[in-house]
């Protein structure tokens, strides 16, 4: 796929879907936090002590399921730390931090300019925000083009990459900074990342 075609595909992913549908008080709060990620005017303090961080652009698309409409989000990101203790910042096109997920043993928090919300774990945070959990711990390795050491994996030849945790990780354009992870189980979820080099 050519770069313009890839950009068009990425744009289509970002434009796909309707606003997040709130389901119950917890999902409504998470949806509000996610909307704040993408449209907040105020900002959080600047990022410090990023260490060996991964950064770039990230989009997540969740297919429609039942009465839930399709959902999608897109933002610049910086992922730092480790699966046990780390931080994921989402930023506006101008570089202002719109939301920060921070985790450490016994604590998982999502901070936006409006509020800070605690969650029992990263799965709960992403499930409340998107309606589906994302394997944040595995992303540390997936974005580096390798399987996560915390679960079995199977190599795939076409497209080049691997399968792990029910996801197919496509590394066909890894040399250009692209990683695409797809979970086909309904509702299908696609995570696209373009890494800064």
At 150 the pLDDT is 94
Confidence (pLDDT) at 21: 36
Say which residues have a Cβ less than 8 Å from residue 120's Cβ, sequence separation at least 6. Answer: 108
Residue 8: pLDDT over 60: no
Lowest mean pLDDT among 66-75, 140-149, 152-161: 66-75
The predicted structure's pLDDT at residue 132:
83
The answer on pLDDT for 42 being more than 50 is: no
pLDDT at residue 109 is higher than 90: yes
**17/185: higher pLDDT:** 185
Task: Please state the three-class secondary structure of the chain as a single string.
Answer: CCHHHHHHHHHHHHHCCCCCCCCHHHHHHHHHHHHHHHHCCCCCCCCCCCCCCEEEEEEEEECCECCECCEEEEEEEEEEECCCCEEEEEECCCCCEEEEEEEECCEEEEECCCCEEEECCHHHHHHHHHCCCCCHHHHHHHCCCCCCCCCCEEEECCCCEEEECCEEEECCCHHHCEEEEEECCCCCEEEEEEECC
What domains can be seen in the chain, in order of their start residue? 3-195 (2.50.20)
Residues β-bridged to residue 155: 162
What whole-number distance in Å separates Cα of residue 9 and Cα of residue 12? 5
Q: Tell me if the pTM is above 0.75.
A: no
Tens of pLDDT, residue by residue over 112-144, are 888 999 999 998 988 877 778 899 999 999 999
């Amino acid at each position: 796929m050519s770069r313009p075609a890839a950009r068009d595909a990425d744009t289509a992913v970002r434009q796909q879907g309707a606003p997040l549908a709130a389901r119950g008080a917890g999902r409504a709060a998470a949806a509000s936090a996610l909307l704040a990620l993408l449209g907040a005017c105020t900002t959080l303090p600047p990022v410090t002590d990023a260490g060996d961080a991964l950064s770039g652009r990230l989009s997540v698309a969740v297919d429609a399921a039942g009465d839930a409409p399709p959902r999608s989000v897109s933002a610049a990101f910086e992922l730092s730390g480790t699966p046990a203790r780390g931080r994921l910042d989402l930023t506006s096109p101008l570089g202002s931090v719109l939301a920060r997920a921070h985790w450490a043993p016994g604590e998982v928090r999502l901070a936006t300019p409006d509020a800070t919300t605690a969650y029992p774990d990263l799965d709960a945070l992403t499930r409340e925000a998107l309606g589906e959990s994302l394997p944040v711990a595995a992303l540390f390795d997936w974005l580096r083009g390798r399987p996560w050491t915390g679960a079995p994996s199977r190599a795939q030849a076409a497209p080049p990459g691997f399968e792990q945790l029910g996801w197919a990780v496509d590394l066909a354009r890894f040399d250009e900074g692209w990683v695409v992870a797809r979970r086909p189980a309904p509702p299908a979820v696609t995570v696209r990342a373009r890494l800064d080099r």
